[in-house]
Structure formats: structure tokens, C-alpha cells
Amino acid sequence: MSVLMPQKRYYRQRAHSNPMADHTFEYPVCPEDMDWSQLYPEFYVDQTLAKGPVQVEFADIGCGYGGLLVELSPLFPNQLILGLEIRVKVSDYVQDRIRSLRAAETGGYQNIACLRSNAMKYLPNFFSKGQGLVYTNTDVEEVHLWMVKHFSEHPLFTQVPDAELVDDIIINRLGTCTEEGKKVQRTGGKNYLAVFRRVEDQN
């Protein structure tokens, strides 16, 4: 039985959801208790797929309709990618979309999954401390400037200069594969990208 692709029109929800309200979310008590096998069943059945201990290495905070997840999945086949989305309908859409993609004849997409959650509050429940990169992208200049200001002022982050990002495969896709990104392209808007690296505390 093949699984039909979900139709977006049944999953429309307005863009804003109050993250301070007490929505009911399921989240593990701590990262050690999280059962990732529910989201990535093939990675946990067949350990030969993973090179080392399996863990989620990419998190798309506010993944919307899952455009970026779907785009990145074939590029990083051995790494797990998680999308977090707070909206009920939208997270459900992504879950249905991934399910139908996995069930298709061509298969794949076992390394992406979506969770409905409030990243602001519950990120520490899912993930232990990590190092790495933060990619930010927006078409609103003020938001871009705000993000750059706050990340730059934060002693634990430093901005990665454009020169270092020339070969980055994620950068080129950030502005084009998401629903928002495509809308910006259609209306002739501009994409503002900024990448930050976690650094050690100087104090």
C-alpha cells in the first residue's frame, strides 16, 4: 500500500504560535531517555548504517512544511536530521510527508523526522550540549540584523565569515528549498544569511 502525499491545503495554519503558552507537548525527561528509534526506525534496526553511535546532528528549528529537511536528506544520508515545529497542523503535515516519501518506490528519507515541540523551552530535553554551527536565514533585514547582533554579542558565538562559507552545501539551498524561501524568490525579495560557530568561553 503506498501512502499518499499530504495535501498542504488541509494543513494550513497561521505563522505565529505563542511559544510562552502552555501547549501540551511530549518531550523526554532528559536526552538519555529519548527514544530516537521511533523517528528513525531504520537507523536503529540496522546498525551498519551508522558509523558510530547514532545521534541527531542537524536540527531545523521551526522547520515549517519540511522543505529543508527533504532537501538535505539525500545530501547527508548517514546523518540524522530533526525538524522541530510548534504548530499542530504543520508538524503533522511534515510527519505525513516523510511517511509517504519513505513508503514510495524510490524510498530513502529514513534520516529525517519531525517533532512537534517548543524548541525555546525544550531543546535541552532532547539534546545534550554540543558544538557546531548555527545557520540563520531570513528575508526580513531587521530580523537578520537582530540575529547578527545578538549572536555576535554573545560571548559563546562568533560569526563565520563569508569567505569560509564558499563551499558550504547547505548555504546554497537555505534560501530556495523551503516554502518561505520560494515565496521570497517569487516576490523578488532578498535572502539574508548568517552563520555562527560555537566557541569556548574566554572567561
Partner 1 sequence: MAALDVCGEWLISTCDKKLIAVHTKQSREPFVFDCSTAEAKPKCTESDKSDVGGSEETSSDRILAVAVSTSGKRVALTDDTKRLVLFQCEPSWQVISTRWVVRRGTSLVFTKDENEVWMADKSGDVYSFSVVEPQKTGDLKLGHLSMLLSMTLTPDSKYVITADRDEKIRVSHLKSPYNIQAFCLGHLEFVSSLLVPPGHPHWLLSGSGDGTVKLWEYESGRRVQTWDLKQLRDMPNSENEKKSAVSRIAGSPCGRHVAVQCERLPSVQLFAVDQEGEAHLVPSSRLTLSHCPLDLTFDPEGRLWVLLDSREMPFLMYTHTGGSWTPNSVSPELKRVTEALRPHWDALQISAGLESRFQHLYKVSFDNMASYRQKKQERLQQQNEHWDKKRGPGNVQQSNGASKKAKGDKPVAQASK
What does the per-residue mask of binding to partner 1 show for 137-166, with x meaning CB under 8 A? -----------------xxx----------
> Per CB under 8 A, does 199 bind partner 1?
no
Beta bridge partners of 56: 80
Closest to partner 1 by CB, 153 or 167: 153
Q: Does 94 bind partner 1 (CB under 8 A)?
A: no
Which of 49, 76, 125, 135 touches partner 1 by CB under 8 A?
Answer: 125
Residue 58's closest CA among 83, 27, 28?
A: 83
Q: Which of 15, 20, 163, 166 binds partner 1 (CB under 8 A)?
A: 20
Strand 112-116, strand 80-85: pairing: parallel
Task: Establish if 5 lies at the interface with partner 1 (CB under 8 A).
Answer: yes
7 part of the interface to partner 1, by CB under 8 A: yes
CA gap 30, 135 in Å, rounded: 25
Which CB atom, from 4 or from 45, has the smaller least distance to partner 1? 4
Which of 14, 16, 18, 29 is close enough to bind partner 1 by CB under 8 A? 29
Listing from the earlier edge strand, what are the strands of the sheet with 56-61?
A: 56-61, 80-85, 112-116
Phi/psi region, residue 132 (left: phi>0; alpha: psi -120 to 50; beta: rest), is left
**Is 100 one of the binding residues for partner 1 (CB under 8 A)?**
yes
Contact criterion met (CB below 8 Å) for 139 and 180: yes
Check residue 97 for interaction with partner 1 (CB under 8 A): yes
Alpha helices in 54-198 (DSSP H): 67-72, 88-103, 119-126, 141-153, 171-174, 179-186
Task: Catalog residues that contact partner 1 under the rule CB under 8 A.
Answer: 1-8, 10, 19-20, 22-24, 29-31, 65, 67, 70, 88-89, 92, 97, 100-101, 103-106, 116, 120-122, 124-125, 129, 154-156, 182, 201, 203
